[in-house]
Every structure is written in structure tokens, then in C-alpha cells.
Structure 1
Amino acid sequence: MSAAEQHMSHSITVEAPASRVYRLISAIESWPLYFAPNVHVEVLARSDTEERVRIWATANGEVTSWTSRRDLDPGRLTIAFRQEVSRAPVAAMGGAWRVVPVTDERCELWLDHDFTAVGDDPQLVEWITRAVDRNSESELGAVKYLTESDDGLADLEFSFEDTVRVDGAAADVMEFLDRADLWPTRLEHVSRLELSEDESGVQRMSMDTRTADGSVHTTESVRVCLRDEDRIVYKQTVTPALMRAHTGEWRIAAAPEGGVDVTSRHSVIIQAGSVAKVLGEKATVADARSFVRQALSRNSGVTLACAKEFAEGRSRSGSATATT
């Protein structure tokens, strides 16, 4: 063991069965929806007891990514993890989730970390410590909220997709979706958009969107551009009041009959405490689900239609040029 290895533990009491808590922390694909720091998770390999995953997340406000191996033990209610590929300032990191039953309806949830910093730099150790503290407390609090929720996560959480067929090239569709900085001139519902991108293809986006009633909502998102796979995944880090969390994906796939299918996928958790305030005292979670789905589908539908027009216009122009 390195003399510079640091150890940290965080815990919280959860008024829910241990099995329910374990199911939530084991569902790593849903972490971006459940946990504020997590942006996106890709499962690279999986068996009944092992997973290899790539995770994008925020740490002290910065977006970073790493590859980890997870060992799942449902009998002992533990999940051990170890980063295979870490990213500076982290040199190495691992740890474990541990669910400890107290009664049938109560448990203790522990999140342990060990890590070393690049060059054993004390300033980097302090930076990592702050990130682990902030993210661990946020994730433990989210587990508590979601597993104790009176409304039931199954009612609050939902996903849906919209797909259009495009008689054009995937590269042209991807260009339209990728160049979100141009959306204010291309999409009627986008009145302002600020975008920045780092060298790894991670984009930060702040956008003002007009709703059907003419009001404007400001959202902030982190987008991971997986250009080699014709996909863009994203997470809204600042959401409208009705949504506790919102993640999404733009996906382009070759269509059997030619052209491409372009899909917009949304996953949402409703903010139950805001339903009455936003939609009225008699509104239900079901009403909120319907309202949010219609709003998101309307906006993504406009984006899909404009991407289709853009790509098919490029295709027609290219064909005309080729025949002259």
C-alpha cells in the first residue's frame, strides 16, 4: 500500500429495505438520471457478478471520465469498484458500496473510497478530497430520496423515444445535431444557446427554450459527443421545475430500406413536490408525466424535422452536383 493512499468513508441512514437500496445502486445505466454528478455511463462488458463501465461525471464543476471494473455481490449487498483507467488529477481510485440492513425497513448505506493523487501533490489530494466529499454526499442523498419517496420511483421515472426516417446521410444529420451553437438560427423554439467544447468532445450548453405558451425556460446541459458511433448523449444539469432529472440521446442508425433512422430518446424523473405549484393543486404525477412528455416530444420533434430537412437538402444538392 502506498503511504500516500487516502481513505474516505461516507454513510447515510435510509428508511427503506436494504434490497431496494441495493437494486438502485446496482442499476448503473440509470446513474445519470439518479445522481446529479453523473452525466453518462457506457457498459463495456457485463456478467452476473462483474461489470466494466466508462463513466462521465462532474468533479468540482469539471467534467471528467474514467473506466472502472465493478464486482457485484447481491448476497452481501456490496459492490466493489476499481478504476482501470483514471484521469488526472487522480492516479488511482477504488472503493465499495455497502448496504447494511438494520431492520426490514431501514438500512445503513456506506460509500468507501481509497485514492492516490498524481505525483502525491498535496493540492491535488485536497482537490480530490473535495470532489469525493461533494459527490458522495450528493449520491447518498439521492439514494435516500429516491428509495424513500412516497410517490414511488416507478411512477416518477419514465422514458420515451421519437424517430424519423431521413433520406440523407448520417454525417449530415450528425452535423446538424452536433452544431448546437447554430440552433438559434435553425430552430424556432431556441432563442439563445451558448456552447463550449473540450478536446474530448464534451460540450457544455446553456439554452433558452420557448414553450407553447410563449414563456422561456433556461436549461443547462452537458453533452458527450460520440461521433464515431453517430450518437450524442446529454444530461440537463439545470432543469425546468417539473423535472428532478432529465437525460437524453440523439441516435442515428442506418435504415434497412436506405437512408437513416434518427431517434431522440428522453428519460425523466418528475419532481413530485413541484407538480401542484406548476400545474395546479388538483394536478397529479400522471398529469405531470403527460405534460413533460408532450413538451419534450414537441421540441425534439421540431429538431428532428429540421435535421431531416437539412440532411435531405444536402442529399438533393449532392445528387444534382453529381449529375451535372
Structure 2
Amino acid sequence: MAPIAAHPVRSAARTTLHTVTVAAAPDAVYRLVADVSEWPQVFGPTVHVDVLQEAPEEGGEQLLRIWATANGQVRNWTSRRVLDPAARTVTFRQVVSAAPVASMGGAWRIAPEGDGSRVELLHDYRAVDDDPAAEALIEQAVDRNSTAELDALKKTAELGADRAALHFSFHDSVRVDGDAADVFAFLDRADLWPERLPHVARLDLREDVVDGQPVVQHMDMDTRSPDGSTHNTTSIRVSFPDRRTLVYKQLRVPAAMTGHTGRWTVEPAAGTDGAWEVTSWHTVTLDPEGVRALLGPDATLADARAKVRHALGANSSTTLRHAKEFAEARAAGAPDGAGAEGARATT
């Protein structure tokens, strides 16, 4: 009789529960949890979210790919969510996890409490091979991110109608009569920006390589403002060469802001044959206290919006102009050893 094969005994999944009370209506809180387009701006750990399959308006399944920081590293995974607006719940389960996570799921639950809401964030998870050291790392990341996300959700929801005055988006575009690969290469090669862009004083770039391609960039940059001052920002960028798109999130922002996200896109220009529209998109959330500290006690949010719009727009417009000149010079046959052939294989 053949011996019975021994199978490793898997430990039970670890579970956690984090809660917060929010002075806002449950439906308003639920909308912030359900609308993943807002997550990079609301939640500190979230860098970018791609909606692969949208849920119906009345609720149902949604498929997402998420990039977020955990224990100082950028992880990405694919998750399936089930949205239930009537019950104000969102359940989630990672379809494809990133090591050391073997599996993870959970739920958001929003319920009335007094004049506000009670939010519960549940997680269950396993580590690869039930490794205790990996479980400890996952526990730290889940605790840190859950606490940060609930704090951010509370702060954002409690702004109420004031958030509309603090939160705004804008963009700048330029038409390029050149090769899209050259334009994208210019934007992607941020390590060359100090020698290519007059407003970039210093830039340190570190890249995470996935499957042999550098798709996540960590940037520490000193930028010159139009008034001559210099400020430091740190950012994470995710590169999508197949879409000719770069998305980013600033982790360290200037004093007047609490959040800044954006993206660079290279798309066919409408009504043209072979030209490209290159656009810099910005989404900003202002910090009222930072605005007063920077512009004085009598400064208005309109003043701050105008100043931020001018500063960010001036720098992004400068980058767009130089990207245009770079690509059009190459299209005209001008030699440039730092051109597209100096770009990464991803471009």
C-alpha cells in the first residue's frame, strides 16, 4: 500500500479590523470609497488605479489594477470589488497578488452613527508559504495603510462642500509634428531633465524594474519657480509606454498643497495627419493653513489657485515646449545623441 502523502497544514488567514468615526453623511463617505478615480488624491498610499472593468451604476463587480506604497515600496496588484450602494459596502479580493502576499481581501462598511458615520475597514490575508516574517511585514503594511487611509477619508469627507474650493484640475497642451516615440522618450527620461529643462535644478531618479522594464520611477527633484525660489518634491511615476502615458503622484508637495497628482499623455492630434497632442494634466488639493502661511493671512483660495496654476503650468508648459523642440528637431534630421535611441527599451 502506497504511503499517504503528507500535505503542509496551512494556517488560518490573519484578519484585521480598523475603524473611524466620520462627521459626514454615510452616503457621502461611501461615494469617496466607491470612486477610485479620487483615490490617489485622497489616500496617501495609493499612487494610481486603472479601472479594467467598471461596475454598473446600481452596483456590482468592478476589476481594478492598483499601484500603492507599502513599507516604502511600490506594489501593484489586481483586485475585484463588489459595490453595494444600498448597503454602503464595498468588498474586495486580490485576483493577482504581489509577493510576499499570497492572498488578501476584505471590505469597507459604512453605517450611520449619530449625526455622522462609522467606517469599518476589514482585511484578511495570507503570506506566501505562511512565512512568519512575511506575515509580520504584511501586518505592518496593512496597519499603516489602513490607519492612513481612514484618517485621510475622515479628513476629506469632513471638508464637505469646502472641498470643491480646495480641489481643482487643469491641463496644458502642445501640438508636436514629430515622432510620438521621441516625445515619450523625452518625458520618460527624467534623469536627463536637469540638462534639458531650465526649471529643473536637480533630479535623482531610482527605478523599479519589472520583467526587465523600468515601469516605476522614484523621483527627488529640486524645481525653480517663476519667482526664482526653489522647492523640493518627491514623486512616484508609473510608465505606460504602450499607451504613451506617464502618471505620477507627489509624495512631498509644496506648502500650499495637501495633494498633487498628474499625468503626461501623447495622443494623435485631432484633424491632423501624423501630428501629436502632448498634454500635462494636474489635479491639486490646497491646504488652507499652508496657503495662509505662504501668501499671508488675508490670502484667498482664489489667490492660491491662481498662484499654483501659474507655477505648475509654467513648469509643465516649459517641459512641453522642450519636448516639442526635441521631437521636431529629430524629425527634421538634427543629430542628438540623447534622442530616442538613448531611451529605454520600453519606449
Q: Is the Cα–Cα contact under 8 Å of residues 70 and 145 in structure 2 kept in the other structure?
A: yes
The equivalent of 1:223 in structure 2 is 237
CA distance in 2, matches of 1:179, 1:222: 14
Confirm or deny that 1:278 pairs with 2:278.
no
State the structure with more CA Rg: 2
Confirm or deny that 1:108 pairs with 2:111.
no
The equivalent of 2:52 in structure 1 is 44
Confirm or deny that 1:265 pairs with 2:275.
no
- Matched AA of 1:129: E
Per-residue Cα deviation, 1:132-161 (whole angstroms, up to 9, x for no partner)? 000000000001101112672111111111
CA distance in 2, matches of 1:148, 1:30: 15
Give the paired residue count.
318
Compute the displacement of 1:2 (Å).
5.2
Compute the displacement of 1:318 (Å).
7.0
Compute the displacement of 1:131 (Å).
0.2
The equivalent of 1:322 in structure 2 is none
TM-score (norm 1): 0.96
CA distance in 2, matches of 1:234, 1:302: 18
2:332 is paired with a residue whose SS is helix
- Matched AA of 1:259: A
The equivalent of 1:211 in structure 2 is 225
**What is the CA RMSD across the aligned residues, in angstroms?**
1.4
CA spacing shift, 1:300–1:209, aligned 2, 3 Å:
same
Compute the displacement of 1:51 (Å).
1.0
- Matched AA of 1:295: A
CA distance in 2, matches of 1:40, 1:224: 8
Match of 1:3 among 4, 8, 11: 11
2:328 is paired with a residue whose SS is helix
CA distance in 2, matches of 1:308, 1:173: 7
Per-residue Cα deviation, 1:192-212 (whole angstroms, up to 9, x for no partner)? 000011113100000000111
- What does residue range 52-131 of structure 1 map to in structure 2 within 5 Å? 52-103=63-114, 105-131=115-141
- What does residue range 134-149 of structure 1 map to in structure 2 within 5 Å? 134-149=144-159
2:178 is paired with a residue whose SS is coil
CA distance in 1, matches of 2:130, 2:264: 40
CA distance in 1, matches of 2:301, 2:161: 8
Per-residue Cα deviation, 1:198-229 (whole angstroms, up to 9, x for no partner)? 11310000000011121110000000011111
Match of 1:191 among 183, 191, 201: 201
CA distance in 2, matches of 1:151, 1:71: 28
Identity %: 52
CA distance in 2, matches of 1:46, 1:147: 23
- Matched AA of 1:183: W
- Matched AA of 1:120: D
- Matched AA of 1:245: G
CA distance in 2, matches of 1:129, 1:286: 43
CA distance in 2, matches of 1:215, 1:47: 46
Is there any run of 5+ residues in structure 2 with no aligned partner, and where? 1-8, 336-347
CA distance in 2, matches of 1:45, 1:139: 23
Is there any run of 5+ residues in structure 1 with no aligned partner, and where? 320-324
- Matched AA of 2:99: A
CA distance in 2, matches of 1:286, 1:123: 50
Match of 1:287 among 300, 303, 308: 303
CA distance in 1, matches of 2:111, 2:146: 17
